[in-house]
Structures are given as C-alpha cells and as structure tokens.
Amino acid sequence: MVKKIVRMGDTDATGQMYFINLQKMAIEVFEEFLENAGYSLSKIFSEEAFLCPIVRVEADYLASIQICDVLEVERSLSHIGKTSFSMHYNFYKDLNKLLVARVKITQVVVDKITRQSLAIPELFLKILQE
C-alpha cells in the first residue's frame, strides 16, 4: 500500500477531496508502481514504441475525504485483455482502515506513431501482473 496525504490543493471550496484529484492520486500510484518495477514512464516515452492512454475512469466515493486525511492506496490489476488493462485502486483512511473510495482506470496500449491498438508487450505484461 502507498500512503498519500490530502493537501489543500486536493480539496474544493468545502474542504472535501475534489473528484479529479482522487483520480490523479491513483495515476501517481500507478507511476510509482512502474518506477519501482524499473519501468518508468520516462522509459516508455523515450525507449518504447507504445503508449498507454487512459480510455475510461470509474470512481465511487464511499465516505468523506477531507484536507489532511492520510489515505492508504491499494492497487490491483482488475482486468487484462489483449490490448488493454484496468487497474483498481482502493483508498482507505489511515486511522481506521475505512474504505472511502474506489477508482478503476482502463488504459489501452497503442502504437506511439499510428495510435492504433497493439497487443500488450510481453515485458510490460509481466510487470502489470506482478
């Protein structure tokens, strides 16, 4: 699990987590996962022939998330297809392990130049399945 702190810039005028920032946190967790696996986004952008744009985002907000809350984020692979994959993120409040939100992000693998769908490259597939 990865810890994230809800900062002032993550909230709206009412002090609640602004919806897009929860999705941003999920994306950051995915980036950190890739970096820890030795497969950073900079490697993908500079060395690989593919990209992974986001094509769908789903989110459920189950409880209030406010400024200064400490969240623990649990990432898991929820679906893998030939050309796409979905990651699921559970957000828990650190103090009581209350599930406060769920985010699911689906990405498709595309050719960097043509933008046509590609099969998920073997090494990337192995990393996703870790």
With beta carbons less than 8 A apart as the criterion, state whether 83 and 121 touch: no
Region class of 68: left (phi > 0), else alpha (psi between -120 and 50), else beta: left
- pLDDT of 41 reads 85
DSSP state of 53: -
What's 68's domain CATH number? 3.10.129.10
Residue 59: which domain range? 2-128
- pLDDT of 71 reads 94
- pLDDT of 56 reads 97
Judge if pTM exceeds 0.75: yes
CA 128 to each of CA 69, 85, 90, 124: distance values in angstroms, whole numbers, following the listed order? 29, 9, 17, 6
Q: Which of 106, 105, 107, 124 is nearest to 49 (CA)?
A: 124
Domain count, the chain: 1
- pLDDT of 119 reads 97
Q: Which residues, given as ranges, of the chain have pLDDT below 70?
A: 95
Q: Which two tokens stand for residue 89?
A: 């993120």
